Structure 1
Amino acid sequence: MNSDTGDGPPRAVLVAAIVLAVGAVVAVLVVAAVLQRTPGPTPVAVSAVPAPRADSTECATLVAALPDRLGDFRRAPLVDPAPAGAAAWQPEGGGEPLILRCGVQRPADFVVGAPLQVVDAVSWFRVQDSAGGDRATWFAVDRPVYVALTLPSGSGPDAIQTISTTLAAKLPATAPDPAPLG
């Protein structure tokens, strides 16, 4: 008696179906294992700086509208206690985070005649890191609150462009108010 002439499907079809089902289960398990090993962003410690307007409505509006990604950086949780008006993003491969602080004080070097750079309708004032590295903090100086964005070396233009777009959409432009000379 030939087993291929029975009431069920041919043996070759059954074997192929079983192999396909086992392969699909293995594929799902491999994908799940890879996704489970992908670490989430590590919480970032943000030091407190004088930020008298960090609890303002403007800062709450801005922080709520901040994107999850800034170029190769993705939003990271903050270590508690986190200062009000702060946010951070970490680079995909690890490294120094990008930090935003809203409601900070006017930078001391922002005086009449200080050079500004306009990015997507937002005026920025740059303060170089005092440690002499390539890291810099950019201050948005033409909004109702000062916003500081600290960029690590090599972070590229994506972050400041994206933040500028968000600032322009969420906070109205105001005239910059530099300190008088002398």
Structure 2
Amino acid sequence: MIAIAIPLIFAVVVAAISITMRGRGAAEPPRPDTGPLAVVPVDAPDAAGPECTILLAALPADLSGAGGTLHERPLADPAPPGVRAWAAAPQPVVLRCGLPRPVELTPTAALLEVNGVRWLKLDDGVPDPDVASYVAVDRPVYVVLTAPLDAGSGPLQQVSDLVRNSLPATEVKVR
């Protein structure tokens, strides 16, 4: 009797632990919102210009992200010119074209080069940010890409390729 009871109790304990661990296992990642995105209008004097028109036309419907494909997200009306978005969690990936020169672009600003495009990473002052924003600073218009850190480097790399192929390189203007 004991020879049967001990393996049976052991099997029940192992099953209970397995069920408990499965319940506590890695939580399913949050699903990105795919509905229309309300985008706050900002000063973007060149957003409707020819450079932004060319870049926006070259942008794909999907971007690659660390968790898979990021699908284009529609913009809520009224949508400001020069903006595109892709569904990602916890925040969408948002591209804005035609913004003014960032005040953070100084002679000592550290620039990051990705696939032939020079980017300035903006610091929003949040200790543990969920998103990162980058400004392409070596093109005739300023392009800002904001993406959640969980999306990985795919969106920045793909957008860099499109910026490089769509807009001619210019000298970085730090003043």
Which bracket does the TM-score occupy, shorter chain normalised? 0.7 to 0.9
Residue 59 of structure 1 aligns to a residue whose secondary structure is helix
Q: Does 1:144 align with 2:140?
A: yes
Residue 122 of structure 2 aligns to a residue whose secondary structure is strand
Query: Unpaired runs of 5+ in structure 2?
Result: 1-32
Q: Does 1:84 align with 2:81?
A: yes
Residue 27 (structure 2) aligns with: none
Residue 11 (structure 1) aligns with: none
Q: Does 1:107 align with 2:102?
A: yes
Q: Does 1:75 align with 2:75?
A: no
Aligned pair partner of 1:118 in 104, 113, 117: 113
Residue 57 of structure 2 aligns to a residue whose secondary structure is helix
Query: Unpaired runs of 5+ in structure 1?
Result: 1-39
Residue 39 of structure 2 aligns to a residue whose secondary structure is coil
| Relative contact order higher in (CA < 8 Å, ≥ 6 apart) | 2
CA distance in 2, matches of 1:129, 1:46: 18
Q: Pairwise CA RMSD of aligned residues?
A: 1.7
CA distance in 1, matches of 2:114, 2:126: 26
Aligned pair partner of 2:52 in 24, 47, 59: 59
- 1:42 Cα deviation after fit: 1.2
Residue 176 of structure 1 aligns to a residue whose secondary structure is coil
CA distance in 1, matches of 2:149, 2:110: 21
Using structure 2 for the length normalisation, give the TM-score: 0.75
Which structure has the bigger radius of gyration? 1
Residue 139 of structure 1 aligns to a residue whose secondary structure is strand
What amino acid does structure 1 have at the position aligned with 2:173? D
Q: Does 1:174 align with 2:170?
A: yes
Cα deviation code 1:100-150 (max 9, x no counterpart): 000001111110121100000000000022344242210000000000001
CA distance in 2, matches of 1:58, 1:126: 22
Residue 160 of structure 2 aligns to a residue whose secondary structure is helix
CA distance in 1, matches of 2:56, 2:48: 11
Count matched residues. 139
Residue 15 (structure 2) aligns with: none
Q: Does 1:130 align with 2:125?
A: yes
- 1:169 Cα deviation after fit: 0.7
Residue 7 (structure 1) aligns with: none
Residue 123 of structure 1 aligns to a residue whose secondary structure is strand
Using structure 1 for the length normalisation, give the TM-score: 0.72
